[in-house]
Homo-oligomer: A and B are copies of this chain.
C-alpha cells in the first residue's frame, strides 16, 4: 500500500495533507502558524499530524531557507573553567529559545579559528558567538561581516554586537587593590593558552593603572607548549629574582591558579611573600584551598545577553548598527592578596 503510515519512511507533509484532506500548502501554513486559517481546517490538520506522528523535516526547511537554527560558539579553551561555564550557560539559554549549539575550540590559534568559522558558515549557522576572538587577521571579518550575525563576548571587536564585562575596569580594580595594599612591583601575567581580545583589554587596564601611578608595567606570558614556563624567563627566576614582583595580576583565574601552584612548588608563601589576583571568579577560586582574590563577572547575564542579542539579530527584532552592552565586574577579596613583604 502506498499511504501506509507505518511503512518505513517517516510521514511527510504530503501524507498529512492527504489524511487531512487538504493541500500540502495548507498543512505548511498551519505548521508555520500563518494567519487566516479557519479553526476547522486548523483542527483537521492538527489531528492528522497527531495521528501520523508527523514531525517537519528540519533539513528540508533549512534547504529552503538556506539557514539552520544552529548557533556557532567559538571558545578559546574548554579546559578553562570560565569558558566551560559560559559554554554550558549559552547552551542552555540557546536551547530554551529553540536553538542548537555547535562549538569550536580554538586554543587561541588563528588557523583553528578560521577553519572552525569556515565550517560553521558552510553549515549555515544562524549566528556566531565569540567567547574568544583572536583578532589576529581580518579573515574572520571578511568571512562573516554582513553575512552571519555575530556577537562578541569580548570588549573589542572589529564588527558585530558586543556583550562584555568591563575588562579594562576590572583589571584596574585588581591593580588598584594591589596598589592600595602598598604593592609597587606589580606584574601582569597573560593566559596560559588563549591570548585574545579579552586578554588585551585586561592588559590595557593594568598598564594604564600602573602608568597613572607612575609605575612601570611588566608583562609576562605563559609558554603555551611547556606548562609552568614563562616566555620571558623561567618562572623560578621571575618569582625569586632580585627585582621580583611582589604581586601579580593574572589575565584569568586559570593562570592565577597556575601561578599559585608555581609559588607552592617554590615554597613561596601566598599572600605573605606574593599576592595574586585572578579574573573570572571560577567556581574553584572560592575553594578554601585556592581562596583566590579575583574579579567576578556576571556569567549568567553575559550568557543570557549574548544569546538574546544574537537571537534578536537573527529574528530581525534587532537591526541597525552594532550595539554594545557592558556589564560591570567587581572585586572579590579573598586570601591570595595582602600587604607586600617589607
User: Which residues of A are interface residues toward B (Cβ below 8 A)?
Assistant: 55, 57-60, 62-63, 66, 68, 70, 77-79, 81, 84-85, 87-88, 91-92, 95, 100-105, 115-116, 119-120, 122-124, 257, 260-261, 264-265, 283-284, 287-290
* From B62, B100, B288, contact of A59 by CB (8 A): B62
- A59 and B63 contact, Cβ closer than 8 Å, known pairs A77-B88, A288-B264: yes
- A261 and B287 contact, Cβ closer than 8 Å, known pairs A81-B84, A91-B103, A100-B119: yes
Bound state CA distance, A221 and B341, in angstroms? 44
Bound state CA distance, A265 and B287, in angstroms? 9
Whether the pair A123, B100 counts as a contact (CB closer than 8 A) is yes
Within 8 Å CB of A92, what residues of B? 105
Within 8 Å CB of A78, what residues of B? 78, 84-85, 87-88, 91
A sample of 19 more A-B contacts (CB under 8 A), given A62-B63, A91-B103, is A58-B122, A58-B124, A59-B123, A59-B124, A62-B62, A63-B63, A70-B123, A78-B85, A81-B84, A95-B116, A100-B102, A100-B119, A100-B120, A101-B102, A102-B103, A257-B287, A260-B287, A260-B289, A261-B289
- A91 and B105 contact, Cβ closer than 8 Å, known pairs A84-B84, A85-B78: yes
